[in-house]
Chains A and B, each alone.
Chain A
Amino acid sequence: MDFRFSLGKGREIHPLDFLRRRLTRGLDVATGDEPARRGGEVEALVTISNARKLGDLEVGVVCTEYYDEQETTRDSDGSTSLSRSTSDEVAHESWSQVESISGTQSLRFMIPSDAPFSYRGECLSFKWEVVARGHKSRGLDAQARSEFSVLP
């Protein structure tokens, strides 16, 4: 069973992600002011105000494809019903290790020219985010995310 909080099309949040964000203290990500384009670069800014408990840290850019599908469910009486649901899959991701030290670090990531551009539709969407995640040997990973726009 898949539990998700929905904040509108293409904005579903898994409960574990929600907990990770609550657990993330002292970690923030953003992108630079320049608009990102396919075939160009995006600047990721990682700010660590408290490096303790973050674990091994990596930063990446992730594009997620959200697409609507028809689901068939079988009821207890044997009848079937159709419903519309939104599935998601990572369309592109690129990661880089960063040092777990206090302060702001800048990294640049290439956006491939054949990658999706940002789009929020009715049955198909592409969402770009810069993500920082700290891998802990025990417990949930820390995770900070920030959406940005990729132009065609």
Chain B
Amino acid sequence: VSPRFQLQLDRERYAPGDTIKGTIQILEGGDSRVLEALLEYCEETSDYSEVAISIPSGPLREGELTTGTSFEFELGLPPDALPNYKSRHGELHWQVDVKSEEFARDSHERRRIEVGLPD
């Protein structure tokens, strides 16, 4: 059985160099090999998407996930992180991707975050 989880972040808006603090709550336990969080800078057009930068938290849990447990993590935005940008034909944006590696298809919970330059 694949686990079901929920991602909570301390904020929605960040600046380069900031630390993102988050909690993963396991809503429904299940089989998992590794649970980790990734901070990603993504490119998107109407037909394609690519992950340009991926910053892993490292394993937060190895093995089965139990209902009701939670895992905290911290991910650091690089000091020279590029900001989000939306253009006519595409978008550059940051997201947190919580990934449970499983024997079948991996489970993901993704959340976009706003990264802008300080005023």
Q: Which residues of A contact B (CB under 8 A)?
A: 65, 67-70, 84, 87, 89, 91, 116-117, 119, 121-124, 126, 152
The interface stretch among B26-34, B61-69, B84-92, B105-113 is B84-92
A118 CB to nearest B CB, Å: 10
Cross-chain pair count, CB within 8 angstroms: 57
Residue in contact with B48 in the complex, picked from A65, A68, A89, A91, CB distance below 8 Å: A68
Residues of B within 8 A of A68 (CB): 45, 47-48
Known: A70-B48, A84-B48, A152-B83. A123 touches B43 (CB 8 A): yes
Residues of A within 8 A of B44 (CB): 123-124
Please name 24 pairs of A and B residues whose Cβ atoms are closer than 8 Å in the assembled complex, sorted by A.
A65-B87, A65-B88, A65-B89, A65-B90, A67-B45, A68-B45, A69-B46, A69-B47, A84-B47, A89-B88, A91-B87, A91-B88, A119-B82, A122-B52, A123-B43, A123-B44, A123-B45, A123-B50, A123-B90, A124-B44, A124-B87, A124-B89, A124-B90, A124-B91
| Interface bracket on B | 10 to 19
A6 CB to nearest B CB, Å: 17
User: B117 in the interface, Cβ–Cβ < 8 Å?
Assistant: yes
Residue in contact with B85 in the complex, picked from A69, A89, A116, A123, CB distance below 8 Å: A116
